[in-house]
Chains A and B, each alone.
Chain A
Amino acid sequence: MTALGPEVSGRLEGTARRLTALSIGAYSNPHVRFDWPDKPSPDRFAMSESLLAMGGHPLLRKMDDGQRWRLALLEATNFFSLNIAGERELMEGLASRLYGSLPVFVSRYLQHFLHEENAHTSVFARFCLDYGGQIFREPQVRLPRRYLPGEEDFLFFARVLIFENVAHYYNRQLAGDESLWGLARDINRYHAEDEVRHIAFGRELVGDMWQRFAGRWSEEDRDRIRGYLAAYVQTVLRSYVNADVYRTLGLPETTRGEILETAHWQDLAAKSTRGVTACLRAIGVVEQ
């Protein structure tokens, strides 16, 4: 049994139709939207200092301006690389779910969702390759596993909702930072504008699926699924602290582990997950 059958709620239908209209109205060509200089701005950071994962690490205080500028550029490259990896998984999942047993109004919205994610990816990749010198890898291995009826679809969209919510926190902060390099700020603003719709859809869809399926799963399975999603939140957060960034800068191998212990990082992690925790609580996935 798929969680994405034709029996979705009227509320989800209304949301999908409204978001489809909004996506049509917001349509833009990402290939002409931005000006791409040959080199990154030499006197502006690509990532807000307050969002640098290294913000609380003693090594940051020992860096000169040039080193901090380079760190900010690589952290921005990591942020966009994470989004490329996340959106790749999302696009694969959306494409495989199009026009199956879905109501047509949902498929129609997923078509916009897919298009917008693909457009973001092309922008992020250009930034990473032109300025960061690389797209940071995601050392992931997918393990085969068995699912309960409805669980695979539910977990797919719940993971998307979590990933996008955390990224959205960063997008909004970066989009509003007037001290940032203009191109980095504009890309984040562009991403944030589209993600508002994606998150609205995800919240409605995940809530709809949870309402329809949680009652069919045992209490033990619901707890397991809650535990999985809580662990996924931590996985997403930790991916923002990429050992390859610090290796590229020639910092010690222990840097990543030390960053994860800093109060700055833990505060950033708490702030960036506040939205998604509230969202999952409202849906009922996280208990009050």
Chain B
Amino acid sequence: MPLHDREAVLGRLRAWLGKANPAVSQAHLDPDTDIIESRILESLQIVEFILFLEQLAGRRILAEELDPATLRTLNSIYCNFFESQP
């Protein structure tokens, strides 16, 4: 079942990032924290992360949607992949 409720999506994203990067406490990860600059999301985790986003959103993410800017914060991820469908 695709998720679109903002808090539910953010909760699942925080849980995934927390599991992928146990060194960083994700429980209160601010939705505007730059997860790329702060290396919470590493380059080698991107493919798995995108596959997780697809499962969560219940749709395939197109190549043209994929840009570092769209993945930079929890808010940008929510806006780009869950709030507005292409």
A228 within 8 A of B: yes
- B55 near A139 with CB under 8 A, answer no
How close is A56's CB to chain B, nearest CB, in angstroms?
20
A37 within 8 A of B: no
B66 nearest in chain A by CB position: A141
**Size of interface on A: residues with Cβ below 8 Å to B:** 19
Per-residue B-contact encoding for A238-272, CB less than 8 Å = 1, 0 else: 11000100000000010010000000000000000
A143 within 8 A of B: yes
For chain B residues 25-81, which have a beta carbon within 8 Å of chain A? Answer: 36, 42-44, 46-48, 50-51, 54-55, 61, 63, 66-68, 71
Give the chain B neighbours of A239 by CB distance below 8 A.
47
B43 nearest in chain A by CB position: A143
**Size of interface on B: residues with Cβ below 8 Å to A:** 17
- B44 near A139 with CB under 8 A, answer no
- A140 near B47 with CB under 8 A, answer yes
Point out the residue from A137, A143, A232, A238 that lies within 8 Å of B46, measured CB to CB: A143
Given contacts A145-B43, A232-B44, contact A139 B51 (CB under 8 A): yes
A89 within 8 A of B: no
Q: Can you report 14 A-B residue pairs in the complex whose CB atoms are below 8 A from each other?
A: A139-B46, A139-B51, A139-B63, A140-B66, A141-B46, A141-B50, A141-B66, A141-B67, A141-B71, A142-B68, A143-B43, A231-B44, A232-B44, A238-B47
Known A139-B46, A238-B47, A238-B48; further 7 A-B contacts with Cβ < 8 A: A139-B61, A141-B46, A141-B67, A143-B43, A143-B46, A232-B44, A243-B54
